[in-house]
Amino acid sequence: MVILGLILVLVALALGAALLMGTSAPEVSGQDVDIRLFDTVTINLNPLTLVIVGMLTMLLLWLGLVLIKAALTRKAKQRRLRKEQAAEARERQARLEAEHQEDIAQRERELEDQRTSTEIARERAEAAERHDPTLETQRMDTRGEATRPVRRDGAVDDATRPMPRKGDRRL
């Protein structure tokens, strides 16, 4: 592309030089060209001035097109950069939201574990109080005599044994 651009620039310079040399010839430079604008203004130019004005016009046209292309390229690059930044921000926000949700779930699991542990401890304490003869007051039977609680199966009460929970299998 660079080589093609250089070739085009050299061709343009050669054509411009040929036009300048061709219009500066004595037989051509003596002629004047009348340019009428909107039937009200008439400009009288010699051929060399007309060629130079044409070259300047083409230069301004080329410069305008280059500026337009540069502006459009810059805007496209800015749009692309904004889109990439927005996508990164969305990804970062989604990641932070997922981490936040995971933290909340972890805290809820820990809280549920604490509640379960508290309930188990409370149940064990209640069972220990029910089965500890030193903590329990003596009960009166129907005749008014004091009795001591005895387990139905005749075994000794063991308050340190864990309480069975739902889903536990007995061996």
Q: What tens digit of pLDDT does each residue of 22-43 get? A: 777 666 667 777 777 777 877 7
pLDDT of residue 48: 77
Where in the sequence is the domain holding 92, given as residue range(s)? 27-129
Residue 6 domain-assigned (yes or no): no
Average model confidence (pLDDT) across the chain: 77
Tokens of 79: 């749009």
Q: What does the pLDDT look like over 119-160, one tens digit per residue?
A: 998 888 888 777 765 544 444 445 555 555 555 555 555 555
Helix or strand run (H / E) with residue 63 = helix 47-131
Residue 139 domain-assigned (yes or no): no
Residue 95 domain-assigned (yes or no): yes
Residue 166 domain-assigned (yes or no): no
Residue 160 domain-assigned (yes or no): no
Residue 5 domain-assigned (yes or no): no
* Residue 97 confidence (pLDDT) above 90: yes
Residue 32 domain-assigned (yes or no): yes
- How many domains does the chain contain in total? 1
